[in-house]
Structure 1
């Protein structure tokens, strides 16, 4: 158990702490497990599963991990069936979690319960998205008051949420948005309940627009509730860096973009989650959809315009596409000289890894918005020339954003952050038509799996299927 806790601290917990400078999962959780058996079982289950995926039972490969190499416990785990242990510990954590829900544990332990949910989500997602992963996320409505019926807009912060830390809350929000994107559904969390989002760190005006993190919450002068709760904000024992808050704000905007896309032209957000034959036969007008799209585009632009210098690249190196093989940890290839743009790509470096992957997500959001821009009504007079020019401009912008995503991964990112690059890379891969660019995406995705044990082949296969349907196929 000690070696599993050590591995959880040095490995999987880092995935959950990428955007949290408080390092809740890598610092606080390893301390809590001494007296919290539910949390201990979940953390050890994830650690065992990750070790199994990374090492496949090979003790020598296990000892290549820096935090195990010099440990006096290094040989204790050599004879352990890690696959069996991961399943056993997972089942144990599930039993504890079911008991906690059934017995209605006190609010003071809700933070622990939802930390377990976040860890178990990672346990499922490390293989590939599954029904079990979605089942864990079905616990999200219980964040509010303990029952699904209470999952609605609030006029004041529910008492149950006062005991959920910002770290745990945002780790679950990211899982919720990821699930909505992968499964093409609406988010489970209500993104328009501004009381909740304000209390977990976002500065939002009375009109629902984000304000820069540096703006004091007191500048939000129009209250949503006429009778504010005495618990107006979640107590924060340590101030979050501006980068953390900006990264979280982007997740909130991404959730709204995903909800816009998955709602189609339905009048109600969930109309298009029904099978085709059961959907309403009428919907929102193109003009209304375009207005909603423009508002989202404005929000994403406004977010980007508030970014500090830490979100700007520290350098760019132009490389030959034909010489790249990012599956190997070799020195960066020789910069290009006097070659065309189609044959090159920039490796884009950032000082702070969190900022790098946040900007990747921003480019992903741009691609999703551009590729899902509603058309103007055909009743609006426009020439064929103008419409086709507009389509070509969008296609060019989409490819530009896709190349930025790949360039950020190409410059090299720490293992702890790589799992968060999978979906942006997948979206980027959908934009390319050239074999070299497509192969680069395949290589970058496979590098994530080889370096971290995080499953990416399901995304590679999906890309190859889409490319084949378009008449081309790429990937070794």
Structure 2
């Protein structure tokens, strides 16, 4: 189905033809060109988990998309109200079916479509953005704000539509199998809808409204403004003086409350639109997408009336999303993070407690964040420090090879910490980071322990008796704790594999050095098994999409072919179940294994 966005029309015309494309115009809707025949979707079935993961890819053509077998609770491609006549073939479609295709395109922006997409976002995607926010700003508050804020509303619709596009319009069941779905859970002819087009339309509407509400009221918004990063749009508004003199999060003055509320909403829009971009973007391209987050949040911090003031709930929620994406993107490119871990006022304003000795610690009573949220967010700060340690090591290596002074790459100049501010990768820094990780682990609440653990889970993809997976299967009751423990082991692996040379060469004999290498190898193997075990437990979607770089890291540490296949299956499962692109990660691993 192809849509021609040539403009809006006030006329309503319908002309049905038999062999030509038909153009429809509807009030408040773009012109739509609709072919009179749309090929059906080839259906099949899979027999095992591994077979399913290998045969299903959301990026494959629609004709090659296969349905899940009964083990995976399949969702019918069409609701009974829109069921095809049984005797009808996909190449001979009735006028009723073609009208449903046309109708679904005309629904863009309608009450039912917005309701359907908002519910899909709240049930499936919102929790991805609330991994370390038990108060659930993006799952609960953002959809409520969308009622009166068009940019938030359209951003939510854009992300939900993009997600459905990646899944070929198939919506997973979340509320049972035996009762009829609610009206807001179904969409006519969902698998035949061009969700990519709808996502692009809603993205345009969200970016346009974001430009409008952040302009001074006299500036004409250019249509090319939607090509800007959302951070540039929001940053321009923050620095324009429209936010008044200061932000006062605790104030009850209506003007102060309005400023904080608007700041939260424009940041929510920027966060959701950024996820629209990242969902199908290779990990090594994330870094430039996040290039303006540092000056944006430093500007917000400078507007706070008191140096010790905390960001409001919505600003904190946006910050921690970007901070997590920041260090994962930096790991792929071995670049410094955009957020500077040494800028302690910024991290303190985001809600974590760091003392004058630059040590993180939990606040047992009196914090607005739960202990689980504090621990998870504190770990983000620690892993960011490790990533900058790695980036500094890479800079010094390049400088040694080229004979030039170390520095940041030209494209990240001004958006990442100055190279002189990065920790020097010496023994003392490495030991301090290792000690901080161990201290974090020893002080987390008991909720970070797994509630279910099977050391040798049976391999259900094999019929032979005595077939077991090489990794444990680990389940955490809290999503926050599952993702935190995965990233904790990832951070420890990164440190182990990047010991400064003098730490390894300190032992006096060759045997001592060999023993040191064996100890490192043993610990790396243990932590790789932990990361893989949590992944095998199939945690909530937000954990799975952000474990992709972690699986790439541990996959390069594993040597067994069976282990390699499990890592590939886990990555393919993320894309098949959640629509989050992983093909680039699989290629990266396969290139590494083939060397």
* TM norm structure 1: 0.79
Q: Distance in 2 between matches of 1:36 and 1:383?
A: 68
Question: What are the residue-to-residue correspondences of 1:253-402 with 2, within 5 Å?
Answer: 253-264=382-393, 277=402, 279-280=404-405, 289-319=426-456, 323=459, 325=461, 344-376=470-502, 382-402=508-528
Q: Which runs of 5+ in 1 are unaligned?
A: 217-235, 470-476
Per the alignment, in what secondary structure is the counterpart of residue 165 of structure 1? helix
The answer on whether the counterparts of 1:287 and 1:376 sit within 8 Å (CA) in structure 2 is no
* 1:387-423 per-position Cα deviation (integer Å, ceiling 9, x unaligned): 1221121111101100111111222312343212222
Q: 1:34 to 1:320 in 2, by over 3 A?
A: closer
> Which one has a bigger Cα radius of gyration?
2
Per the alignment, in what secondary structure is the counterpart of residue 145 of structure 1? helix
Q: 1:42 to 1:197 in 2, by over 3 A?
A: same
RMSD: 3.6
- CA shift, 1:378, in A, is 9.3
Q: Distance in 2 between matches of 1:334 and 1:165?
A: 53
Q: Distance in 2 between matches of 1:136 and 1:428?
A: 25
Among 174, 177, 182, the alignment partner of 1:71 is 182
Q: Distance in 1 between matches of 2:309 and 2:536?
A: 45
Q: Distance in 1 between matches of 2:390 and 2:404?
A: 16
Matched, 1:212 2:344: no
Q: 1:420 to 1:434 in 2, by over 3 A?
A: same
Q: Distance in 2 between matches of 1:445 and 1:160?
A: 37
Q: Distance in 1 between matches of 2:424 and 2:286?
A: 37
Could you say which residue in structure 2 is the equivalent of 1:145? 299
Could you say which residue in structure 1 is the equivalent of 2:380? 251
Q: Which runs of 5+ in 2 are unaligned?
A: 1-113, 215-232, 244-258, 408-418
Q: Distance in 2 between matches of 1:143 and 1:449?
A: 32
* 1:278-324 per-position Cα deviation (integer Å, ceiling 9, x unaligned): 8417999x996111111110111110010221111223213267x35
Q: Distance in 2 between matches of 1:345 and 1:241?
A: 31
- CA shift, 1:11, in A, is 1.4
The answer on whether the counterparts of 1:144 and 1:161 sit within 8 Å (CA) in structure 2 is no
The answer on whether the counterparts of 2:166 and 2:579 sit within 8 Å (CA) in structure 1 is yes
Could you say which residue in structure 2 is the equivalent of 1:43? 156
Q: 1:27 to 1:382 in 2, by over 3 A?
A: same
Q: 1:63 to 1:366 in 2, by over 3 A?
A: closer
Among 516, 529, 532, the alignment partner of 1:403 is 529
The answer on whether the counterparts of 1:290 and 1:374 sit within 8 Å (CA) in structure 2 is yes
Q: 1:30 to 1:445 in 2, by over 3 A?
A: same
Q: 1:247 to 1:402 in 2, by over 3 A?
A: same
Matched, 1:128 2:265: no
Worse-superposed segment, 375-384 or 343-352? 375-384
Q: Distance in 1 between matches of 2:305 and 2:353?
A: 17
Could you say which residue in structure 1 is the equivalent of 2:343? 193
Q: 1:131 to 1:95 in 2, by over 3 A?
A: farther
Q: Distance in 2 between matches of 1:192 and 1:324?
A: 48
Q: 1:462 to 1:135 in 2, by over 3 A?
A: closer
* 1:422-457 per-position Cα deviation (integer Å, ceiling 9, x unaligned): 222221111100111111111111111111111112
Could you say which residue in structure 1 is the equivalent of 2:13? none
Among 22, 30, 33, the alignment partner of 2:135 is 22
Could you say which residue in structure 1 is the equivalent of 2:122? 9
Could you say which residue in structure 2 is the equivalent of 1:175? 325
- CA shift, 1:370, in A, is 0.1
Per the alignment, in what secondary structure is the counterpart of residue 151 of structure 2? helix
- CA shift, 1:257, in A, is 0.2
Among 265, 273, 277, the alignment partner of 1:112 is 265
- CA shift, 1:31, in A, is 0.9
Could you say which residue in structure 2 is the equivalent of 1:440? 566
Could you say which residue in structure 1 is the equivalent of 2:370? 241
Could you say which residue in structure 1 is the equivalent of 2:33? none
Q: Distance in 1 between matches of 2:554 and 2:174?
A: 31
Per the alignment, in what secondary structure is the counterpart of residue 348 of structure 1? strand
The answer on whether the counterparts of 2:284 and 2:329 sit within 8 Å (CA) in structure 1 is no
Per the alignment, in what secondary structure is the counterpart of residue 471 of structure 2? strand
- CA shift, 1:265, in A, is 6.6
Q: 1:411 to 1:335 in 2, by over 3 A?
A: farther
Worse-superposed segment, 134-143 or 367-376? 134-143
